[in-house]
Structure 1
Amino acid sequence: MNIFYFLHYTFYKKMNTTNEILIIDLEATCWENDRIPIGEKVDIIEIGICKLDLKSKAISQKQSIYVIPERSEINDFCTKLTGITPQMIEEKGIYFEEACEKIIHEYHPSTLNWAGFGNFDKEQIFEQCDWLGIDIPFDGEYLNIMEEFRDHFRLHKMIGLKRALDYLKMDFEGNHHSGADDAYNAAKILQKILE
C-alpha cells in the first residue's frame, strides 16, 4: 500500500457513511498577551459552522451562532480581533446551551462527524459543556484539519489557517477570526485534502 493511498484510507476510516461532515470554528473571549483576569474564564462567543459534502465537495449551511459569555466579558482587544462587540451579543446572542440545541435541531450532529482547524474548538466545546453539565452536541469522531493538512502534504510542522491557504495558493474568503468565515475556509482546505 503506497503512502498516499494509506493516508486517504486512514482519513476515510475516520469518516462515517453519511458523506457529510460538520466544520466548526469558535471565537471566544480573549485578552492581550493571554492575561485572563482573575475570576474570569474563556467563553465561547461565536460558533461558526458549515457542512461539507464529502462526495460533491459542496459547502452548505454556513452560519454564525453568537453566544452570550457567562464567565467573562468581551473587551476592546477581543472586539478588535474578532469584530464581535458586546452590542452584537446583546442583539443576536443566545446562551451556550441554547446554541447547542440549535446545532442539534438544524444540523443533526449525532449522525455526523465533525472537524475544526486545530484542537482548540473541540477542547473548548468539551470544557464548556462540562462546566454547564450538558451533553456535547457532537457524537461523531472529531477530525483535526490542521493535522490532516500537515500529514497530507508531508510538512514537518503544523501551520495556521491563513498559511495553509497560502500554501494552497487559495484566497481567504471573508474576515479572519469570524467563526463562520474561518469554518468555511477550513472546509475549503478539507476539500483540497480530499481531491
Structure 2
Amino acid sequence: MKITTRDMILVSLFTSLTAIGAFIKIPLEPAPITLQFLFTALSGILLGPKLGALSEIVYVILGLLGLPVFTKPGGLSYIFEPTFGYLIGYIIGAYIIGKLSEYTTKPSFFKLLTACISGIIIIYIIGVPYLYIILKYVTLTPITITSALKAGFLIFLPGDLIKCILTASLGVKILPVIKNYVLDHS
C-alpha cells in the first residue's frame, strides 16, 4: 500500500478528530461517554479499512507516548486503564467498518449502518472483557461480569447506536462527493 501525502493528511485529520472526540465527554466511571467512536467509524467509512485503522493506530501510539490525547493522562501505563481495550477495539473497528463499506459506488444508509454496528460490536467484544479483567485483576475492584456488561456496554449502547445512525447518514452524503473528487482528480 503506497501512502500519498493526501493519505497522510487524512490519517492525521482523523487521528486529531479521535483525540478531540476524547475531550467531548460525559464523565462516567469506569469509562466516559465520548465522541471517539463517531470519528473512528467515520475514519473507516471515509478512509477505508487500512487508512481508517492507521488513523486509530497513530492515535493510540501518540497516547502511549504520553501526548494528552486520551480521556485521562496517557503514557505506557495507560494499558492498565480499564478503557484501553476500547482503544484497541477502535483500531479493529475502523478496519471492519472500512472493509464492510468499501467497494460501494453508491453507498446505502443501511450498508453503512450495518458496517458501523458491526464495528461497535467488535469494539465491545474487545473493550468489555478488557475492562472486566483490568478492574477485577489489576485494580482489584470487586466486579462481576454482569456489572462489567452494564458499565461497559449497556450504558453506552443507546448513544453508540445514535452515533452509528449519524455516521451512516454522514457517510451517505460525503462518500459520493469524495469518490467523485478522487475520480475527477485522478
Q: TM-score under structure 1 normalisation?
A: 0.24
Could you say which structure has the higher strand fraction? 1
**Structure with higher helix content:** 2
Higher relative contact order (CA 8 A, sep 6+): 1
TM-score (norm 2): 0.25
